[in-house]
Every structure is written in structure tokens, then in C-alpha cells.
Amino acid sequence: MHERVSGRSALDARGALVSRLLAGLGPARDYLGIALLGVVLWLLLAETNAFYSSVLAAILIWTIATSGLNIIAGLGGYPSLVQGAFYGIGAYGSAIAMQWGQPYWAAVPEAMAAAALLGLVIGVVFSRTRGQYFAIGMLFSGLVVALILNNWRSLTHGALGLTVEFGFANIDQLNVAIAATATLALGFFRFVSRSRLGWRLLTILENEDLAEHIGVPTTRTKLTGLVLSAAIGALAGTLIGQYNGTISPDLFDYFVGFVMFVALSVGGAGRVLGPLLGSVFIVGVPNLLNLPSGIGLLLAGLIFVGVSILLPGGFMSAIDALLLRLRPKAGPP
């Protein structure tokens, strides 16, 4: 062990200096990293060819939606399988608001508010349930939203779907918006995870009864978490509407919420970069390899069940373990 460290001492000294500098930055270091990542993502989005760019855009939009989900499911430990419905409300809400003559920048907060309201209603009813009942209730809620999108023809045109007015000057602006929103969503999750809300959600994850006992307002905390998740899910929905140009109910079928949960769990629930990593695997890989939908979902299911059984922390925990092994042992302080 020791000879290996001394053989790389020069490198280690420089590494230690960098890490001390970074440590001095405190929490700003994380935000700086997320911002840098955002710039890289934007460059990739703008500079790669149309195919890669579209795959990356799909990944980033899913990253936003699953970052929202990460608040209630990752921090709070509640398997919210209804995120696909909030995503759909965002897409349909903004498209319909724009049809009614609203500009895009006004339609987005309106759609987010609609999803947040739905999240509040679902939360008030189902926050008193746990485990399997919560999961069943969430799935059913997603099914009902999909049913309404399919059948409220005067508003949604049913299975035919809607054409979405383009709210940007050109695709470059939309790419900037997607990269910026994904960066903000990751940063926002980083912020929430260290806020009072985040700590409270974590106590609920660890032991809800005990949390209640020591004075954590569990119901209010869960509701706040779900409402935030819903609003961010809807934000992602407004972007997929803009990117696709048309939307139809099958994009937001009830199992989409479950696949989002799969992406989050595979990446690493409760981790800032978990949603990005998970979306790369669940959305990016099948798109890149141009797999038929059945095979893509089959792989997603296999990866998910495998990760759930063997690697409960998701791929982020595997990366942690790898980094820990590569990094030189920390010396005395």
C-alpha cells in the first residue's frame, strides 16, 4: 500500500493541493461543477450532429423530469410512479395555454402550477399511505391522467394529439434552454438536498414514525416534496412539447412514470447526478443503438431488477466505490 503512494507522491501532492483548494470553496464547489457540466452539455448539444444532439436532448429532458422525481423519491424514499403524468400535464398544459394565445414564457409557469396543484391533490390523498399502497395509488393516478388525455377530446384531441406552437426563435435557443434548465434542475436538487426540506425528507426515508415522533412535520414535508417534484416534472414536459412539435397521450402513458422511477433508481436515487446517469442508460442507450421500443424497455427492466437486487444505491454507488479505490488514502489531517 505504502510504496504505491510514495511512488506517486508528486502527483499526490499536486492532487492534494487541488483538493484543498476545492475544499476551501465549500458548497460552491458543487455548484461550480454543475455549471461546468451544464456548459459541456450545451456545447455537445449545439455542436454534435442532429442525431446525437436529439438523443442528448431527450436525455437532458428526462434528466430534468427525474431530477424533480429525485426530491420525493430519492430524498423522501416514496416511490412516486406518477411523474409521467406531471410530465404530460406540463406538455399539454403549455401547449393548450399557447393555443389560447399565451406566450411561451407565461405558458410554462402556468403548466407548472397546474401540475403542482395536481401533485398537491394526489399528495393530500395518498400521503397517508405507504409502501405498496402508495405505489398502487400513484400508478392508478397516472392511469387516470392518461385516460383523461385520451378521452377529453375537445381539449386534447384524444389519441391524435396536439401540435405545439414553437416558443423560441430557433433550435439553437431551444438547445440553450434545455441545457440551462437541466443544469438548473440539477443545481436545484443539490440545493434542496442540503436544505431543511431535504434533511426532513431524509429523516422520513430513514424512519417515518421516528421522524414524526421527534417533531418533523411529515405530512407537510411529503406534500412540499411532491409538489416540487410535480412542478419540475411539468417543466420537463413543456420542453419535450417544444422539442417534438407534436404531443400525443402515448408519450405520457401511465408506465412512463414508472420508467422514470427506473431511470432514477438505476442512476442513483438521492444523488445529484443520479438522474443524468440513469437517463443516459434508460433513454440514451436505446436511442443511440436504435433499439425497438420492446427491446429497450426489456433491457431497462432487466437492468432495473438487477440493480435493485445487487446494487441498491444505483450506478452512482458503483462509481463511488471505484473512486474510493483509485483515490490515494487520505493522510492524517
Q: Which residues bind another protein (CB under 8 A)?
A: 77, 79, 81, 125-126, 128-133, 135-137, 139-141, 143-144, 147, 150-151, 208-209, 255, 258-259, 261-262, 265, 292-295, 297-298, 300-302, 304-305, 308-309, 312
The answer to whether 231 and 103 are in contact (CB under 8 A) is no
Smallest gap from Cβ 294 to another protein, in A, equals 4
Smallest gap from Cβ 24 to another protein, in A, equals 38
The answer to whether 267 and 278 are in contact (CB under 8 A) is yes
Cell for 192?
Answer: 434542496
Cell for 67?
Answer: 431530477
- Quick one: angle between helices 131-151 and 83-99, nearest 10? 30
Smallest gap from Cβ 137 to another protein, in A, equals 7
CA 203: distance to chain centroid?
21
Q: Which is nearer to another protein, 189 or 261 (CB)?
A: 261
Phi, psi of 246 (to 5 degrees): -135, 150
- Quick one: angle between helices 9-25 and 28-47, nearest 10? 100
* The dihedral formed by the CA atoms of 42, 46, 51 and 56, expressed in degrees to the nearest 10: 10
Q: Which is nearer to another protein, 65 or 303 (CB)?
A: 303
Q: Which is nearer to another protein, 104 or 304 (CB)?
A: 304
AA identity, residue 21: L
Smallest gap from Cβ 127 to another protein, in A, equals 10
User: How many Cα neighbours within 13 Å face the side chain of 281?
Assistant: 27
Smallest gap from Cβ 85 to another protein, in A, equals 13
Q: Which is nearer to another protein, 241 or 278 (CB)?
A: 278
Q: Which is nearer to another protein, 137 or 275 (CB)?
A: 137
Q: Which is nearer to another protein, 43 or 305 (CB)?
A: 305
| CB atoms closer than 10 angstroms to residue 269 | 25
Q: Which is nearer to another protein, 192 or 260 (CB)?
A: 260
**DSSP tag of 246:** E
Smallest gap from Cβ 134 to another protein, in A, equals 8
Sign of CA dihedral 172, 178, 181, 182: negative
The Cα–Cα gap between 188 and 199 comes to 15
Smallest gap from Cβ 241 to another protein, in A, equals 24
Smallest gap from Cβ 215 to another protein, in A, equals 19
Q: Which is nearer to another protein, 136 or 322 (CB)?
A: 136
- State the Rg of the chain over Cα: 21
